[in-house]
């Protein structure tokens, strides 16, 4: 069984990697799909996010990293995958995720959204928090892999 785990991943954190690893253990293939949103400038470019995800998941052979633009349902149809996994960190995620899951199912009836409860160690974590800590000189070693930490530092210093 294949699943899609979509998101912005700007950048990938240990919270995302926890969900990816648990999906990789339960499903035959996990497609981590990075949204390419033309209207939103990210901190990292799409190519940089893909590279960081690929390097962070290289020990998981059944994880594929890809990008998409437009609607998630169209990408799911293109890939012939009808299960999307979303992580739930806290109750506050639920209302928005429920709305998206219901809208997606209305648009594509066979699409199922599975919610995976985040590891409580990472329930507070978001990519914005990581960026805020780094921009203010803090240490993000416990939030992201070293490869992401190094890229954040290079980005801030203008070397990426
Ligand atoms: N660990 C750590 N952080 C997590 C996390 C986890 N397990 N799960 C979510 N997050 C954080 C992300 O880092 C992100 O943080 P940020 O806001 O600081 O950047 C935040 O939660 C939101 O996650 P994001 O990846 O942006 O996901 P989303 O729930 O907003 O959905 C898409 C992203 C790509 C799935 C969604 O926008 C989409 O499907 N877009 C395509 C258009 C479409 O089809 N829309 C639906 C029409 S109804």
Cβ 101 under 6 angstroms from ligand 1? no
pLDDT of residue 39: 75
pLDDT of residue 160: 66
Cβ 6 under 6 angstroms from ligand 1? yes
- Distance in Å, CA 125 to ligand 1 centroid: 13
Pick the residue whose CA is nearest to atom 31 on ligand 1: 7
Cβ 35 under 6 angstroms from ligand 1? yes
Cβ 4 under 6 angstroms from ligand 1? no
Report CA-CA distances (Å) from 9 to 33, 52, 71, 75. Answer: 9, 9, 17, 17
pLDDT of residue 159: 62
CA–CA distance, 19 with 154 (Å, rounded to integer): 27
pLDDT of residue 92: 87
pLDDT of residue 89: 93
Mean pLDDT by groups of 10 residues along the chain of 160 residues: 98 98 98 90 95 98 98 98 96 93 97 96 96 95 98 86
Residues that are catalytic: 16, 40, 89, 127
CB-based contact 127:10 (threshold 8 Å):
yes
CA–CA distance, 4 with 79 (Å, rounded to integer): 9
Segment (H or E) for 82: none
32 Cα distance to chain centroid: 7
CB-based contact 91:70 (threshold 8 Å):
no
């Amino acid at each position: 069984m294949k699943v899609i785990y979509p998101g912005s991943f700007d950048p990938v954190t240990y919270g995302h990697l926890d969900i990816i690893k648990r999906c990789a253990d339960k499903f035959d293939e996990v497609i981590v799909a990075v949204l390419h949103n033309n209207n939103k400038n990210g901190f990292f470019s799409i190519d940089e996010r893909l590279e960081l995800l690929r390097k962070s998941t290289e020990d998981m052979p059944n994880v594929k990293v890809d990008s998409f633009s437009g609607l998630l349902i169209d990408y799911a149809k293109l890939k012939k995958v009808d299960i999307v996994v979303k992580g739930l960190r806290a109750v506050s995620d639920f209302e928005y995720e429920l709305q998206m899951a219901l809208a997606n199912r209305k648009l594509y009836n066979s699409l199922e959204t599975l919610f995976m409860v985040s590891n409580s160690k990472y329930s507070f974590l978001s990519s914005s928090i990581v960026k805020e800590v780094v921009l203010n000189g803090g240490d993000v070693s416990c939030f992201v892999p070293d490869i992401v930490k190094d890229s954040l530092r290079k980005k801030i210093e203008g070397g990426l």
